[in-house]
């Protein structure tokens, strides 16, 4: 009797295990900068992830989100924890380049695909060695720098002064701007740097103005980018001021006020989704995201940084069904299949552009992923 | 570089230096009285500035909840430590400080914030929110450790700093804010254009220095603080309540921090984590004064502001390196002058 009962229990357990195995969800591990200096990127990303449904293409998914505090060491620790303890199939993150750079080697060592939400082209170029496992959601700085240089050349700008962050963001932009401006034969007459939390940039601004440039390019992100611009206006600078896509959130407009009117910057199309022409396929996807985000977090709360997380989800939505054809989630084979499926993404419409991955291009975005935008009456306006 | 640029940079340096001077004074004060190297000093600047900016928008700053929570924690701590000696007067004193005052401030803020009564009221409210935080933090975090070594106190200070930065992110969000200036006046002085706010900063700094001088020189509380600073045990033997001295020092630190924050909020964008770096520059100046001398610390702070301003003109990429390197020769000189390093007591 006892033996029969034990047998029944074992049978029941086995059936249970079998169903559990069949219902194994796709686990997506996320490490983003919800605190620390890059919190203005990580917080909209976290908010975006909270909007995601728990199925992708009919398949159950589980999002596990950790905070890395904008710190590279913490990001790597989070990644290992996600892989070892949560058994994730893919990693999304981190929000910034230094943390993402540190994560690349772990991705290759653990053979797990990773979609970074940081911008630098260094993360995916060239696609070889460890970087074979890394994909990138945001536009590369080089794409945006080219857009600025094109626009400046058309506007007849001959000389530019650069005021940038004293960190990886500023470094990346200085390299890209030097190259892009050089290609258009625009002279870079002065380079100034400042820190995110600086309370005064008078010295830098005076030096930049003393070089008498036709235009000034500020390479900074979020509200700290408003400080040099306000100081420039205070000191009576009248030339055009260019910013980068790092400033594309409502807080920049709030802090900048009337001093940032007329600023020109490149941005992802999602920033001006409502103003895109109907013929643009990005419009529908981007508007859908903006509406969902603002329905939950309030009108005008959308930041383009959060949309990168949405794009990572859209990429996974395209890749997961393909990968599921060859392997089960939770297995090493599935990770490889998912990597291959991400590399095979073709004409997938994202909020920031249209992605076409290839074995030599893990960003997949082209010039459709950028628009030129200006600030008029306290809001973003698409430039033709 | 011509004379105009020189003058503009000098003006910028002096105005920034005045803020560092306020913080340096407060750091020296807290260290002298309680031996705490008060790293969270800068957080009061950020909290003051951001509370002021939030009030300026007609919203209720969420820092009032921190004030209430700290008040509650301090009440519990106070009741526990005084459980044997508590009588009616002591209880009334304790509760008025840790419960009644924070509740009154919070109520006042909730009532007045949406009315937008102008910068003066908003500034005073911001000060009223942040100043008692200093005092309550002392009760919660430092009073129980008052006899510990400088190192333990320093570690506690680091802990308080990390907690406050994290809370700042929760309360004020990752993006910065600016506030309306006290006056929109602008004075032109040769090549200089001096914003009215800069004069307010210099004025308040001067006022505070004179005020502190009078307080320490001519009042009983001030003299008691000085006595505690000179010799804690001796002060106790002659009947000075050293715990009170600590509370006054921290209350003053909270007030000076909040005032600095309210003063700079209109001039620059302040972030939840701006305070640390501003405080650190005040700290450099305080170190130059050997953590004991107020006039040297204040002068050094102005010098730090000017070094920063000129460094950002000549070599902006190395600005922080230059500012913080200033401390190296000073430390060398201090240690050479004093011979062998003094042993920790």
Higher-confidence residue of A194 and A125: namely: A194
| Sign, Cα dihedral of B147, B153, B156, B162 | positive
Residues 20-79 of A with CB under 8 A from B: 35, 37, 39-40, 42-43
Taking the CA atoms of residue B173, residue B176, residue B179 and residue B184 in that order, the dihedral angle to the nearest 10 degrees is -170
C-alpha dist (Å) from residue B186 to A149, A209, B197 = 37, 21, 9
Peptide bond into B133 cis (omega under 30): no
**For residue A187, is the peptide bond before it cis, meaning its omega torsion is within 30 degrees of 0?**
no
Q: For position A8, what pLDDT does the model report?
A: 56
Q: How far apart are CA B282 and CA B298, in angstroms?
A: 9
Q: Of the candidates A199, A224, A255, which has its C-beta nearest B278's C-beta? A: A199
Instruction: Name which of B177, B268, B313 is nearest A203 (Cβ-Cβ).
Output: B313
From chain A, pick out residues whose CB is under 8 angstroms from the CB of B178.
255
Strand segments (E) across chain B = 186-189, 192-195
Distance CA B288, CA B327 (A): 7
Question: How many angstroms separate the CA atoms of A248 and A257, rounded?
Answer: 14
DSSP H helices, chain A, are 2-22, 39-49, 72-84, 97-110, 141-154, 168-183, 202-210, 226-234, 250-256, 282-297, 304-324, 332-343
In a domain, B313, yes or no: yes
Q: Is the pLDDT of residue A278 over 60?
A: yes
**8 Å CB contact of A193 and B317:** yes
Query: Does B179 fall in a domain?
Result: no
pLDDT of residue A2: 52
Q: Are B158 and B39 in contact (CB under 8 A)?
A: yes
pTM: 0.84
Backbone angles phi, psi at B285, to 5 degrees: -65, -40
In total, the C-beta contacts within 8 angstroms joining chain A to chain B are: 98
Range(s) of the domain holding residue B21: 3-174+189-337
Range with lowest mean pLDDT among A44-48, B19-23, B150-154, B322-326? B322-326
Chain B residue numbers with beta carbons less than 8 Å from the beta carbon of A194 are 312, 316, 319
DSSP symbols for A316-353: HHHHHHHHHTT--TTSHHHHHHHHHHHHT--SEE-SS-
Give domain A141-267's CATH number out of 3.40.50.300, 1.10.287.110, 3.40.50.2300, 3.90.1150.10. Answer: 3.40.50.2300
Find the DSSP H helices in B180-293: 196-218, 220-230, 232-237, 242-264, 274-288
Equal CATH topology for A2-139+296-365 and A141-267: yes
The CATH T-level fold of domain A2-139+296-365 is Rossmann fold (3.40.50)
Percent of chain A with pLDDT over 70: 94
Is A227 in the B-facing interface, judged by CB distances under 8 Å?
A: yes
* Residue A191: both structure tokens together: 């380079």
Substitution target from A197, A231, A250, A306 for chain B, most B beta carbons within 10 A: A197
Taking the Cβ of residue A116 and every Cβ of chain B, the question of whether any pair is shorter than 8 Å is answered with no
Write down the domain spans for chain A.
Answer: 2-139+296-365, 141-267
Q: Do B178 and A255 touch (CB under 8 A)?
A: yes
The answer to whether B267 contacts A199, with C-beta atoms less than 8 Å apart, is yes
> What proportions of chain B, in percent to the nearest 5, are helix, strand and coil?
75, 5, 20
Tell if the CB–CB gap between A203 and B316 is shorter than 8 Å. yes
- Classify residue B292: in a domain, yes or no: yes
Chain B residues within an 8 Å CB radius of A206: 5, 8-9, 313
pLDDT digits (tens, 9 = 90+) for B1-59: 688 888 889 999 999 999 999 999 999 889 988 889 999 999 999 999 999 999 988 88
Nearest-Cα distance to chain A for B197, in Å, is 14
- Are A167 and A130 within 8 A, CB to CB? no
Q: Residue A281 has what pLDDT?
A: 93
What is the value of ipTM here, to two decimals?
0.81
**Could you report the per-residue pLDDT of A96-112, keeping only the tens digit for each?**
989 999 999 999 999 99
Give pLDDT, residue A199.
Answer: 87
**Would the CB atoms of A203 and B310 count as touching at under 8 Å?**
yes
User: Can you say whether residue B171 is alpha, beta or left, with left for phi > 0 and alpha for psi between -120 and 50 degrees?
Assistant: alpha
Lowest mean pLDDT among A45-49, A215-219, B78-82, B301-305: B78-82
Q: Say whether pLDDT at A230 is over 60.
A: yes
Rounded to whole angstroms, the Cα distance separating A42 from A93 reads 10
- Running DSSP on this structure, what letter comes out for residue A272? G
Helix (H) or strand (E) holding A382: strand A379-382
The answer to which of A253-267, B40-54, B56-70, B232-246 has the lowest mean pLDDT is: B232-246
Q: How many CA atoms lie within 13 A of A351 on its CB side?
A: 29
Chain B residues touching residue A247 (CB < 8 angstroms): none
Our count of domains for chain B comes to 1
- Residue B146's CB: how many other CB atoms inside 10 A? 15
Whether residues B5 and A210 touch (CB distance < 8 A) is answered with yes
Q: Is B155 helix (H, G, I), strand (E, B) or coil?
A: helix
In this prediction, residues B233-239 reach a mean pLDDT of 88
Question: What are the two backbone dihedrals, phi and then psi, of residue B340, each rounded to the nearest 5 degrees?
Answer: -65, 145
In this complex, do B269 and A255 lie within 8 Å of one another by their Cβ atoms? yes
pLDDT tens-digit profile of B179-189?
Answer: 887 777 777 77
Rounded-to-integer distance, Cα B261 and Cα B48, Å: 5
pLDDT of B110-145, one tens digit each? 998 888 888 889 999 999 999 999 999 999 999 888
| Phi, psi angles (nearest 5°) of residue A243 | -120, 175
| A283 alpha carbon, distance to own chain's centre | 18
Core vs surface per residue B226-253: b (16+ CB within 10 A) or e? bbbbeebeebeeeebebbebbbbbbbbb
Residue B341 has pLDDT above 70, yes or no: no
Using DSSP bridges, classify how beta strands A59-67 and A55-56 pair: parallel, antiparallel or unpaired.
antiparallel
Give residue A18's pLDDT: 47
Is position B181 within any domain?
Answer: no
């Amino acid at each position: 009797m006892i033996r029969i009962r034990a047998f029944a229990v074992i049978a029941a357990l086995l059936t249970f295990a079998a169903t559990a195995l069949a219902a194994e969800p796709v686990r997506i591990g996320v490490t983003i900068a919800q605190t620390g200096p890059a919190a203005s990127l990580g917080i909209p990303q976290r908010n975006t992830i909270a909007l995601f449904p728990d199925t992708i293409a009919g398949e159950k998914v589980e999002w596990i989100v950790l905070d890395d505090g904008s710190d590279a060491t913490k990001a790597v620790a989070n990644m290992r924890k996600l892989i070892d303890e949560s058994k994730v199939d893919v990693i999304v993150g981190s929000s910034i380049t230094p943390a993402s750079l540190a994560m690349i080697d772990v991705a290759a060592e653990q053979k797990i695909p990773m979609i970074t939400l940081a911008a630098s082209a260094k993360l995916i170029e060239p696609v070889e060695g460890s970087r074979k496992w890394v994909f990138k959601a945001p536009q590369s700085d080089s794409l945006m720098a080219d857009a600025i240089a094109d626009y400046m050349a058309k506007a007849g700008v001959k000389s530019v002064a650069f005021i940038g962050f004293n960190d990886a963001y500023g470094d990346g932009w200085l390299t890209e701007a030097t190259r892009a401006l050089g290609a258009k034969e625009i002279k870079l007459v002065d380079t100034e740097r400042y820190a995110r939390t600086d309370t005064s940039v008078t010295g830098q601004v005076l030096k930049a103005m003393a070089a008498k440039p036709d235009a000034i390019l500020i390479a900074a992100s979020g509200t700290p980018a408003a400080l040099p611009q306000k100081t420039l206006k205070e000191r009576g600078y009248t030339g055009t001021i260019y910013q980068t896509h790092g400033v594309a959130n409502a807080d920049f407009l709030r802090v900048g006020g009337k001093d940032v009117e007329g600023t020109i910057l490149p941005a992802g199309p999602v920033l001006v989704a409502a103003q895109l022409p109907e013929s643009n396929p990005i419009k529908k996807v981007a508007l859908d995201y903006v509406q969902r985000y603002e329905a939950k977090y309030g009108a005008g709360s959308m930041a383009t940084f959060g949309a990168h997380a949405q794009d990572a989800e859209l990429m996974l939505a395209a890749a997961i069904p393909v990968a599921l054809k060859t392997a089960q989630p939770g297995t090493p084979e599935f990770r490889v299949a998912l990597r291959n499926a991400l590399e095979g993404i073709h004409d997938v419409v994202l909020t920031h552009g249209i992605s076409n991955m290839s074995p030599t291009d893990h960003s997949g975005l082209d010039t459709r992923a950028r628009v030129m935008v200006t600030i008029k009456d306290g809001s973003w306006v698409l430039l033709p | 570089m011509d004379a105009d640029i020189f003058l503009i940079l000098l003006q910028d340096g002096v105005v920034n230096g005045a803020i560092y001077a306020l913080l340096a004074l407060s750091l020296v004060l807290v260290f002298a009285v309680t031996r705490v190297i008060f790293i969270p000093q800068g957080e009061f600047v950020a909290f003051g500035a951001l509370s002021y900016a939030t009030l300026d928008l007609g919203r209720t700053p969420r820092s009032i909840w921190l004030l209430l929570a700290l008040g509650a924690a301090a009440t519990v701590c106070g009741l526990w430590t005084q459980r044997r000696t508590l009588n009616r007067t002591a209880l009334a004193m304790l509760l008025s400080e840790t419960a009644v005052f924070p509740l009154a401030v919070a109520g006042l803020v909730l009532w007045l914030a949406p009315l937008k009564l102008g910068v003066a009221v908003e500034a005073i409210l911001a000060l009223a929110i942040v100043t008692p935080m200093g005092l309550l933090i002392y009760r919660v975090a430092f009073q129980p450790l008052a006899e510990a070594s400088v190192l333990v106190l320093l570690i506690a200070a680091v802990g308080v700093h990390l907690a406050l930065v994290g809370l700042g992110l929760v309360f004020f969000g990752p993006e910065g804010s600016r506030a309306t200036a006290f006056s929109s006046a602008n004075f032109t002085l040769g090549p200089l254009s001096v914003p009215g706010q800069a004069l307010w900063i210099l004025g308040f700094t001067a006022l505070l220095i004179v005020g502190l001088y009078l307080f320490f020189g001519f009042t009983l509380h001030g003299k008691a603080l000085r006595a505690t600073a000179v010799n804690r045990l001796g002060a106790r033997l002659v009947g000075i309540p050293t715990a009170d001295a600590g509370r006054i020092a921290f209350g003053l630190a909270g007030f000076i921090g909040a005032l600095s924050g309210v003063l700079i909020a209109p001039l620059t964008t302040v972030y939840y984590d701006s305070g640390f770096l501003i405080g650190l520059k005040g700290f450099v100046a305080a170190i130059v004064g050997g953590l004991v001398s107020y006039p040297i610390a204040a002068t050094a702070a102005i010098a730090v502001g000017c070094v920063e301003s000129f460094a950002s003109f000549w070599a902006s990429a190395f600005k922080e390196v230059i500012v913080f390197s200033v401390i190296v020769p000073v430390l060398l000189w201090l240690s050479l002058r004093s011979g062998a390093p003094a042993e920790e007591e």
